[in-house]
Structure 1
Amino acid sequence: MIRQHMVLASAAGLVSALLLTGCGSANDVSSTGPDSSAPVATAALDPAASAPAAPAATATLLTVREMKGTAGVVTDDKGMTLYRYDKDRPNPSKWTCAGQCTKTWKPVMVQDGVRAEGIEKSLLGTVHRDGKPQLTLGGWPLYRYVGDTDAGQMNGQGKDQQWYAVSPTGRKSTPSG
C-alpha cells in the first residue's frame, strides 16, 4: 500500500514539474492602458494556480492544421479555427472586442490549463476579461468565429480586414507556397 502511494505521489510530482516547466513563470503583471474600459493584463499560464482536481485531459488542447492553403492555423480540441483581431494589442495583451463584438467573436476562455501540439508553450498566456482568463498566443487574445460551424472551417479569415486565423507564432496566418 505504501509503495502504491509513493508511485502515485512521484507520478503527480513529475506531471506537475513538466507542466510548470512548459508554461513559464507564475508572474501576473497587470496595468491599465489608455482605454480604461478594456483592462490590460498578462499572465503566464500557471497550472499550479489553477490545478484541476480532474486529470489533465480537461485542459484545452491547441493544435496546428494546414487549411485552405495556409502555412498553419491554430485550432482548438474540436478542430475549430482560432482567430486574432488587429485592433487588439500584444505585449502587454489588451482585448478590445467587447459587447456586441463578442456575440460574433467568442473569446477563448481557459479554466483548467492548456496543452499545445506544434506551438511553442512560451508563447501562450492569458489576459483577464471580467476576472476570467482569456487565452493569448504571442500576446494576441484569441477568439472563435460563430460563422465556423464545423471543424476545419475558416470563414472568419479576413473579415472586415481585421480578423485573421492565428498562426502557431501568434501572427496572422499566411498562404503557404
Structure 2
Amino acid sequence: MEKLSGPVRALAVVAMAAAALGGCSNGDSGTPAPDKAKHASPTPATGGAARLTLSAADGLGKILADGQGRTLYLFAADTSAKSTCDGACAGVWPPLTTQGAPKAGPGVDASKLSTTTRDDGKKQVVYNGHPLYSYKGDGAAGDTNGQGLDQFGAKWFVLDASGKKIEKSSTS
C-alpha cells in the first residue's frame, strides 16, 4: 500500500471515523440505533389492512398488539385522535398505519377502531380515540420495553382490551 500525503491521510482518517460512527446513533437523545432487521415497522404490506389482537404481557395482563403480536402503545401527548408524533418521534415510535379498514381480532372491540389521516397522508389506526404506535426498542412479539418511557415530551403506555392505558410497569 502506498503512503498517503498528510492532508490526504487526514481526510481518509476522518472518512473512516465518520463511516464507523454512522451507525451508532439514530439522533434521538441517547436512544441506541435500533437493528432494522430485528425491528420491522408494524405498517402492513401494500394493500393490506392492519389487524389488532390481544397479547398476554408479563405483569400487564392482556394488551393490544398488531397482527404479528407486536405491542402497541398510546402517546400521552396525543389528546385527541390526531397524532402529535412525527419526524424523529415517528422514527422511534412508528405509527400503526393501514390500507383499508383496520380489522379486530378476538377480544378487540371493532366499534373502537377507526383511523386518522397523518400529515404525510397515511391512515393511522386509532383505538378508543388513541392513535397507535409500536416501539423500535421492542425486539420481538410480546416485548413491552416502551412501557412507561418518557420520550418526545410525554409518556408511552400499552393499552388494555377496552382501549385504556395501563400505567403499571411490566416484569419483562
TM-score range, shorter chain: 0.5 to 0.7
Residue 173 of structure 1 and its aligned partner are, at CA, apart by: 2.2
Q: Paired residue for 1:113?
A: 101
Give the Cα–Cα distance (whole angstroms) in 2 for the partners of residues 72 and 173 of structure 1. Answer: 10
SS at match of 2:165: coil
Alignment of 1:6-155 (within 5 A): 58-90=48-80, 93-116=81-104, 117-129=106-118, 130-155=120-145
Q: TM-score, normalised by structure 2?
A: 0.63
Amino acid at match of 2:166: S
List alignment gaps of at least 5 residues for structure 2: 1-46
Q: TM-score, normalised by structure 1?
A: 0.62
Match of residue 156, structure 1, among 133, 146, 158:
146
Deviations, residues 64-108 of structure 1 (Å, cap 9, x unaligned): 122012132111111100000000023xx1211111111100000
Give the Cα–Cα distance (whole angstroms) in 1 for the partners of residues 58 and 167 of structure 2. Answer: 10
Residue 154 of structure 1 and its aligned partner are, at CA, apart by: 0.5
Q: Is the 8 A contact 1:71 1:173 kept in 2?
A: no
Q: Paired residue for 1:18?
A: none
Give the Cα–Cα distance (whole angstroms) in 1 for the partners of residues 90 and 167 of structure 2. Answer: 25
SS at match of 1:102: helix
Between the two proteins, the alignment pairs up a number of residues equal to 118
Amino acid at match of 2:89: C
Moved more, 125-134 or 58-67: 58-67
Q: Quickly say closer, same or farther: Cα 1:110–1:70, change in 2 above 3 A.
A: same
Q: Percent identical across equivalent pairs?
A: 39
Deviations, residues 119-145 of structure 1 (Å, cap 9, x unaligned): 111101111102221000001000010
Residue 174 of structure 1 and its aligned partner are, at CA, apart by: 5.1
Give the Cα–Cα distance (whole angstroms) in 2 for the partners of residues 60 and 94 of structure 1. Answer: 18
Q: Paired residue for 1:172?
A: 165
Give the Cα–Cα distance (whole angstroms) in 1 for the partners of residues 149 and 114 of structure 2. Answer: 25
Give the Cα–Cα distance (whole angstroms) in 1 for the partners of residues 96 and 114 of structure 2. Answer: 12
Q: Is the 8 A contact 2:138 2:145 kept in 1?
A: yes
Deviations, residues 26-80 of structure 1 (Å, cap 9, x unaligned): xxxxxxxxxxxxxxxxxxxxxxxxxxxx8xxx43221112201213211111110
Give the Cα–Cα distance (whole angstroms) in 2 for the partners of residues 98 and 61 of structure 1. Answer: 22
Amino acid at match of 2:114: G
**Structure number with higher helix proportion:** 1
Q: Which has the larger radius of gyration?
A: 2
Amino acid at match of 2:111: S
4+ aligned runs moved over 3 Å, structure 1? none
